[in-house]
A = this chain, B = another copy of it.
């Protein structure tokens, strides 16, 4: 599949192709969970009339939490000032580290201020929150760390995808596919999004009924919470530091 082929099935897509491409900026950083990024990137990449760019501090390869190396397309300095979509994927320790990274937070604050949509999957919302971009917004995150959101000024909602004005945040890792399709529908209409869902053959059949803390067997959930406890603690500490650095809200 290529995005060009979609012109054949969508008048909206074909029309979008003739306009100035919409700019989609997707942050990449060491330790990110790559599936958080590639779920929506695969969807956005099949849209007509978009330029999807992976953005990082430098153009050096970025290694994911499971060891895949991807190449950024643009540096922070090269990224457009008013993107149509600003997106942040989540991860583990690398994501919590990013909550204290001044250059990244300043980049996100500057682009988020002028973006049409400010978005995240998984713990990416904690980084948006640390940049001050979720103050006064409903938001969600990976189930293990979402309790940190209120201390970043957000109103926590336990849903797979949370839309509040131009902020769209999604839950853990695989929720990025649902998020991507929902945003595709906003940008190009429901029929285009239906064609994408069909292309992705998104008729999921999870082999276990363990996709949320409520549905998983209690012992599995308890073990996972224990595993995540140090990460949650570190995220709370990062959130406290981030709040101190915020300028008064405009």
Interface residues of A (CB under 8 A from B): 1-3, 5-6, 8-9, 33-35, 38-39, 41-42, 44-46, 52, 54, 61, 64-71, 73, 91-93, 122, 142-143, 160-161, 171-175, 177-178, 181-182, 185, 190-191, 193-195, 197-208, 210-213, 215-217, 220-221, 223-224, 226-227
A74 to chain B, nearest CB (A): 12
Residues of B within 8 A of A221 (CB): 198
A45-B67, A46-B66, A201-B173 known; A207 and B195 CB under 8 Å?
A: no
A217-B194, A220-B191 known; A52 and B67 CB under 8 Å?
A: yes
Residue of B nearest to A64 (CB): B45
Does A207 contact B197, Cβ atoms closer than 8 Å? yes
> How many copies of this protein are present in the complex?
2
13 other A-B residue contacts (CB within 8 Å) besides A2-B93, A44-B66, A182-B207: A45-B67, A70-B71, A142-B201, A171-B201, A175-B201, A181-B208, A193-B208, A194-B220, A195-B216, A198-B213, A198-B224, A202-B211, A204-B211
- Which 7 pairs across A and B sit closest by C-beta, in order of nearness? A45-B66, A172-B201, A203-B211, A204-B204, A35-B42, A194-B210, A9-B223
Residue of B nearest to A213 (CB): B198
A52 to B34 alpha-carbon distance, docked (Å)? 14
Residues of B within 8 A of A190 (CB): 208
Residue of B nearest to A143 (CB): B201
Residues of B within 8 A of A35 (CB): 38-39, 41-42, 200
Does A38 contact B68, Cβ atoms closer than 8 Å? yes
Q: In this complex, which of A171, A202, A216, A227 has the most chain B Cβ atoms within 10 angstroms of its Cβ?
A: A202
A/B interface sample: 28 pairs, CB < 8 A: A1-B92, A2-B65, A6-B227, A9-B223, A9-B226, A33-B42, A35-B41, A41-B68, A42-B173, A45-B68, A68-B70, A69-B70, A142-B201, A160-B205, A172-B199, A173-B201, A177-B206, A181-B206, A190-B208, A194-B216, A194-B217, A195-B210, A197-B208, A197-B210, A198-B224, A201-B212, A202-B204, A204-B211
